[in-house]
């Protein structure tokens, strides 16, 4: 009798369970597609999630607009430049959570003895000009790689191979337009080869091809002035590094990793045809040197307490505004594509150079102090004839202090001085103008 009652009760409960999980109207059978959506899905590989919540506050002595929580890539406003506004004489206070970041990592099956992995990372600064209350997601990284002991293959969107240094300023732009143009991520395919010389010393070679984005040539805009180039080849970039653990390691960017002595030569080359240059080719190229030195190394390779590091970089570049290594793309005539191409058209790559240096010190494990300076400069000022308000130089001086309360919470503050010197100010040949800003920045970060 008990078995019969249990069977009856079970039979009565089955429709109840089905109805509770069924989004379709009562009595209707769900379609197979709908049923599939309701089933939780898990990746077939191992997944991890992380990132941080970040809130920036900035006081600027110059009004830098809705994106004033970080430094302007277009230069500091000056009353002496073309199109100047009262912003150069206004102060600004601004908050923003747009630096908040989220990533998902995956580790997959081995391939021929190599470890496979992938990462997708995004922040919320998709439209830097929008208000802080209207963040938009922005893809930062989307890459997959296969790593063996001494060889690696990577494809997707990753950091530009050109220019290894990233300024450890609290400024979210991280020195992009101030001598450290590697704050740029681009679609690419790269290979990395490591050669061990002995237990302490090794050589690392990096070679890859990257997206050819010079002069916005991948745009299909119909306006004549938009077709400034076509037929570009991919940019080829590489690094040659000597790495030594013989003098120990010291904290790197934001103190998040420990790095050994590193000496790196890096470069990039690409070319494209330009209708505005009578279909002649215009090259893009750059070269430079980077170094990281553990001045006072970690006692055990893990603790930051009592350690000091020096990081520096210098480079020369031409027609590399796409990664902010130069201010402009090309110089010469005509400056824009006209209806009739001139046989005498003569354009050449806009040339520039940049340099940066910083000292990162950790008096204690929790307390970090960073002081740095970076500058991007134009070369051959005469070649900029006819180009109004071009940036002769753009520099950043910064000093910040950060304190880790625990593994999740970090508070930091920074003083930053920004200076932009403009050439041919307001269209007047040879005239100069200066934009200057002093910023006090506070940043709260919660890592997860």
Tens digits of residue pLDDT in 143-183: 999 999 999 999 999 999 999 999 999 999 999 999 999 76
Is residue 10 classed as helix, strand or coil in its secondary structure? helix
Q: Could you tell me which residue, 39 or 431, shows the higher pLDDT?
A: 431
Place of tokens 């990281």: 292
- In this predicted structure, what is the pLDDT of residue 140? 95
Average pLDDT of the segment spanning 398-404: 98
Is residue 277 classed as helix, strand or coil in its secondary structure? helix
Question: pTM, whole model, 2 decimals?
Answer: 0.85
Average pLDDT of the segment spanning 418-444: 94
Nearest to residue 322, comparing CAs of 245, 392, 228, 405?
A: 228
* Contact of 123 with 101, CB cutoff 8 Å: yes
* Domains of the chain by residue range: 51-447
* Contact of 208 with 188, CB cutoff 8 Å: yes
With 70 as the cut, is the pLDDT of residue 234 above it?
yes
DSSP 125: B
Cα–Cα distances in angstroms (integers) from residue 314 to residues 149, 162, 321, in the given order: 31, 12, 16
In whole angstroms, what is the distance from residue 72 CA to residue 76 CA?
7
In whole angstroms, what is the distance from residue 203 CA to residue 363 CA?
31
In whole angstroms, what is the distance from residue 330 CA to residue 318 CA?
8
In whole angstroms, what is the distance from residue 447 CA to residue 99 CA?
12
In whole angstroms, what is the distance from residue 173 CA to residue 168 CA?
10
Place of tokens 């209806």: 339
Q: Is 299 left (phi over 0), alpha (psi -120 to 50) or beta?
A: alpha
CA torsion through residues 22, 26, 27, 28, sign: negative
pLDDT tens digits for range 86-102: 777 889 999 999 999 99
Q: Is 306 left (phi over 0), alpha (psi -120 to 50) or beta?
A: left
Instruction: Find the range with the poorest average confidence among 32-36, 52-56, 281-285, 406-410.
Output: 32-36
Q: Could you tell me which residue, 156 or 3, shows the higher pLDDT?
A: 156
Give the right CATH number for 51-447 from 2.40.160.10, 1.10.150.110, 3.30.590.10, 3.30.930.10.
2.40.160.10
Pairing of strands 351-362, 409-423: unpaired
Cα–Cα distances in angstroms (integers) from residue 444 to residues 56, 95, 374, in the given order: 7, 11, 24
CA torsion through residues 243, 249, 252, 257, sign: positive
Compute, in degrees rounded to 10, the torsion defined by CA atoms 82, 86, 91, 94. -80
Nearest to residue 251, comparing CAs of 157, 364, 333?
A: 364
Token pair for residue 96? 């923003």
């Amino acid at each position: 009798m008990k078995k019969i009652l249990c069977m009856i009760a079970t039979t009565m409960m089955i429709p109840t369970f089905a109805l509770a999980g069924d989004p379709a109207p009562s009595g209707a059978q769900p379609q197979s597609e709908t049923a599939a959506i309701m089933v939780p899905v898990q990746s077939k590989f191992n997944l991890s999630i992380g990132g941080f919540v970040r809130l920036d506050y900035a006081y600027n002595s110059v009004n830098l607009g809705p994106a004033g929580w970080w430094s302007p890539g277009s230069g500091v406003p000056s009353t002496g430049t073309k199109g100047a506004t009262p912003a150069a004489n206004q102060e600004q206070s601004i908050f923003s959570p747009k630096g908040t970041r989220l990533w998902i990592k995956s580790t997959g099956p081995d391939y021929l003895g190599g470890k496979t992995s992938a990462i997708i990372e995004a922040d919320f600064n998709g439209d830097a000009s929008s208000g802080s209350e209207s963040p938009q997601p922005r893809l930062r990284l989307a890459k997959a790689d296969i790593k063996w002991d001494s060889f690696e293959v990577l494809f997707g969107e990753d950091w530009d191979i050109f220019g290894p240094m990233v300024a450890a300023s609290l400024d979210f732009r991280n020195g992009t337009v101030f001598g450290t143009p590697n704050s740029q991520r681009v679609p690419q395919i790269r290979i990395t080869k490591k050669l061990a010389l002995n237990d302490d010393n090794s050589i690392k070679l990096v070679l890859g091809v990257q997206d050819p984005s010079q002069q916005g040539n991948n745009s299909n805009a119909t306006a004549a002035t938009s077709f400034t180039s076509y037929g570009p080849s991919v940019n080829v970039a590489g690094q040659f590094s000597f790495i030594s653990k013989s003098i120990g390691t010291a904290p790197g960017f934001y103190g998040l990793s420990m790095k050994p002595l590193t000496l790196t030569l890096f470069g990039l080359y690409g070319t494209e045809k330009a209708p505005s240059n009578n279909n002649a080719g215009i090259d893009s190229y750059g070269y430079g040197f980077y170094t990281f030195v553990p001045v006072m190394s970690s006692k055990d390779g893990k603790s930051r307490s009592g350690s000091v590091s020096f990081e520096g970089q210098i480079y020369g570049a031409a027609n590399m505004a796409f990664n902010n290594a130069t201010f402009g793309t090309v110089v010469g005539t005509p400056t824009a594509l006209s209806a009739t191409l001139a046989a005498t058209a003569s354009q050449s790559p806009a040339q520039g150079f940049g340099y940066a240096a910083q000292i990162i010190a950790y008096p204690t494990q929790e307390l970090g102090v960073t002081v740095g300076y970076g500058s991007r400069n134009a070369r051959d000022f005469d070649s900029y004839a006819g180009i109004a308000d071009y940036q002769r130089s753009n520099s950043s001086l910064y000093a910040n202090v950060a304190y880790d309360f625990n593994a999740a919470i970090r508070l930091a503050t920074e003083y930053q001085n920004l200076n932009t010197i403009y050439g041919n100010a307001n269209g007047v040949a040879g005239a100069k103008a200066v934009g200057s800003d002093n910023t006090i920045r506070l940043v709260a970060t919660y890592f997860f």
